Every structure is written in C-alpha cells, then in structure tokens.
Amino acid sequence: MAHDHEIYMILTDIAVELRDVDALRKYASYLEQLASRDNHRLYLAIAYRSLGVGHRLAGEHAAAETQLRQALGLFTKLGARWQIGRTLFELGELSQTHSHTKAREYYSQALGSFEEIGAVPNAERTRIALDSLG
C-alpha cells in the first residue's frame, strides 16, 4: 500500500508536468510538510522543485529561484542525477525571462546530466529548449 509521501509525490510530479499552478501549490505544500516531518530528503527536494515551478509560473521569480536552488542542493547531496537534470532544466526555464546566457548554461548542464544516465526523452526536450534560444 502506498504511503501519503508517495501519493503526494506522484500528484506533485504530475502537477509539474501539467504546469498546473493550483495543484502544485496544494500538493507540493503537503508533500513538503510530510517530507520535513519525516526527514525524507528526496521527497523534500521534489517538493522544493515543485514549489519553485509553481512560483515561476505565478511570476514570482525570486521565490522560484530560492526553491529551485534548495532542491538542487539536496539532489546534489543525494547524487540523484536525473533529479539534478530536471531541476537544472527548471532553472533554465526560469532564466529565460532575464538571461538567455544563463538559461543556456543551465540547459547545457541539464543535458549533460540526462546524457550521462541515458535519459533520452529528457535530453531531447532539453535540446529543443536549447535550440529555441537561438
């Protein structure tokens, strides 16, 4: 039987993929509470990234960057390469609003992470984002 952590992690991750701000705020906040309570660093990092995406979609760029950097730090400590790549991709998305140079840097790092582990769909999505920068 799935635990609340897993259910809310799945709901949160789906909300990220759908770019659904209302669902992100609802599910990511609950995931953050559960993960903090139980000191589950992976799910806490997923919650941070998801909250960061929600802030970005709401135009709250400073809060988005803070959350995404927190997520990246935790994923890096965990050695979660796919999650690192996903977070770098989101930082690239955020950076497009103010610096194509910085966005390109984040996307390139994300692409490296994805290629290193053979995450082909993520790598392709990242290449498309890089190409869109010109």
Nearest to 129 by CA among 110, 117, 115, 118: 110
Same domain, residue pair 60 and 7: yes
- Structural domain containing residue 96: 81-134
Question: pLDDT for 104-130, tens place per residue?
Answer: 999 999 999 999 999 999 999 999 999
Pair 40, 73 in one domain: yes
Query: Are 88 and 50 in the same domain?
Result: no
**Domain count along the chain:** 2
- Based on the fold, state whether residues 22 and 44 are members of the same structural domain: yes
Q: Please provide residue 40's backbone torsions phi and psi, each rounded to the nearest 5 degrees.
A: -95, 95
pLDDT tens digits, 38-82: 999 999 999 999 999 999 999 999 999 999 999 999 999 999 999
Looking up residue 69, the CATH number of its domain turns out to be: 1.25.40
Q: Does 69 share its domain with 118?
A: no
Does one domain contain both 107 and 123? yes
Structure tokens at 90: 């989101």
Shared domain for 40 and 64, answered yes or no, is yes
Residue 23 token pair: 């669902």
User: What does the pLDDT read at residue 10?
Assistant: 93
Task: Output phi, psi for 103, to 5 deg.
Answer: -60, -45
Per the model's pLDDT, the better-predicted residue between 2 and 12 turns out to be: 12
Radius of gyration of the chain from Cα atoms?
A: 14
Residue 1's pLDDT band, with cuts at 50, 70 and 90, is very low
Q: Please check whether residues 73 and 87 belong to one and the same domain.
A: no
> What pTM was estimated for this model as a whole?
0.94
Helical spans, DSSP H, in the chain: 4-18, 21-38, 41-57, 61-78, 81-95, 100-117, 120-132
